[in-house]
Amino acid sequence: MMSNVASSSPILRRIQASGVLRVGTTGDYTPFTLLRPDGSYIGADIDMAHDLAERLGIDIEFVPSVWIDLLDHFLADRFDIAMGGVTVTAPRAEKAFFSVPTFVDGKRPLARREYRNRFTNFAAIDQPGVRLIANPGSANEAFVRGHFRQATVIIHHDNASVFDELVADRADVMITDGLEADHQARLHPELCAVPVAAPFTRLEKAYMFARDPAMKAYIDEWLAAAFASGQWQRALDRAMSH
């Protein structure tokens, strides 16, 4: 059952009364969330979602969303909480609350191995003829459109297969969250996370939910315990090994 902190939250009381925690997730962002062909989800944040529902004593339902519509879907009450490598952004933070960060990251280049020493800074990437790929509606797309003027920007329709475009040499470089660059380089021997002096940005991953201070207190307390016990790190390590 819920702790006193949780029972003081009108949102958590309503969620518990419904008997189901509705979790919005994109299913296309390893190691946080991945939709498998059989319709099930895996990932570090998926494990944590199951744990949260269990602690609330209720069932779980994963609600598919896409990055470009994630905030709108939340505001339309399609789900109770968004989990799956969600970046804290100003537009989202204006309309929703975020948990304490689960992960702090920064954008770094991912490229074919032969470009390991070529795309190590902005100037080297922002050159005529360089094919810079991004996924639509994402923080990655916003970043490249906001920062690059000379390179050819390619928007690839599908988050899950965008890395295959690099492997197939239909694009030269992608700028994405550092953890994703490391993970995809591990999955694709043709690719490497380009070594840069420092990440191009600083960003925080967190869980997004209603503007309810008591719910935030409960979620943050739950996460603090998961960090302290090593539960979160174990979930991340498991997901990184897939």
How confident is the model at residue 230, as a pLDDT? 97
Does residue 124 have a pLDDT over 90? yes
pLDDT of residue 241: 82
Q: E strands within 115-211?
A: 131-134, 152-155, 173-177, 191-193, 203-205, 208-209
Mean pLDDT of the chain: 94
Three-class secondary structure of residue 152 per DSSP: strand
Helix (H) / strand (E) element for 231: namely helix 231-240
Q: Provide the pLDDT confidence category of residue 242 given band limits of 50, 70 and 90.
A: confident
> What is the predicted pLDDT for the residue at 175?
96
Residue 79: φ, ψ to 5°: -150, 165
Give the fold, CATH level 3, of 4-103+203-240. D-Maltodextrin-Binding Protein; domain 2 (3.40.190)
Q: How far is CA 221 from the centre of its chain?
A: 21
**Angle (CA) 185 81 102, round 5°:** 45
Handedness of CA 7, 1, 222, 12 (dihedral sign): negative
User: Would you place residue 114 in the very low, low, confident or very high pLDDT band (cuts 50, 70, 90)?
Assistant: very high
pLDDT of residue 3: 53
Query: pLDDT at residue 232 above 90?
Result: yes
Structural contact between residues 31 and 179, judged by C-beta atoms closer than 8 angstroms: yes
Residue carrying the six token digits 């989800």: 41
Please give the pLDDT value at position 240: 86
Find the Cα–Cα–Cα–Cα dihedral 114, 186, 39, 159, rounded to 10°.
Answer: -30
Domain 107-193 in CATH: superfamily? Answer: Periplasmic binding protein-like II (3.40.190.10)
User: What's the pLDDT tens digit per position in 1-53?
Assistant: 445 556 789 999 999 999 999 999 999 988 999 999 999 999 999 999 999 99
pLDDT in tens, 58-85: 999 999 999 989 999 999 999 999 999 9
Could you check whether 4-103+203-240 and 107-193 share the same CATH topology?
yes
Least confident of 134-138, 147-151, 161-165: 134-138
Q: Is the pLDDT of residue 234 over 50?
A: yes
Residue 107 host element (H or E)? strand 107-112
Q: Where are the domains of the chain?
A: 4-103+203-240, 107-193
Q: Is the pTM of this model over 0.95?
A: no
Q: What is the pLDDT of residue 1?
A: 44
Long-range contacts of 57-62 (CB under 8 A, 24+ apart): 57/1, 57/2, 57/16, 58/15, 58/16, 58/18, 58/19, 58/20, 58/21, 59/19, 59/20, 59/21, 60/20, 60/21, 60/23, 61/20, 61/21, 61/22, 61/23, 62/23, 62/25, 62/27
Instruction: Give the tokens for residue 124.
Output: 């080297």
Which stretches does DSSP call E strand in 128-202? 131-134, 152-155, 173-177, 191-193
In total, the chain counts a number of residues equal to 242
Helical (H) or strand (E) element with 35 = strand 33-35
Given the structure tokens 């360089």, which residue do they identify? Answer: 130
At 106, the pLDDT band (50, 70, 90 cuts) reads very high
Other Cβ atoms within 10 Å of 27 Cβ, number: 23
Q: What is the mean pLDDT of residues 123-142?
A: 91
pLDDT tens by residue, 204-219: 999 999 999 999 999 9
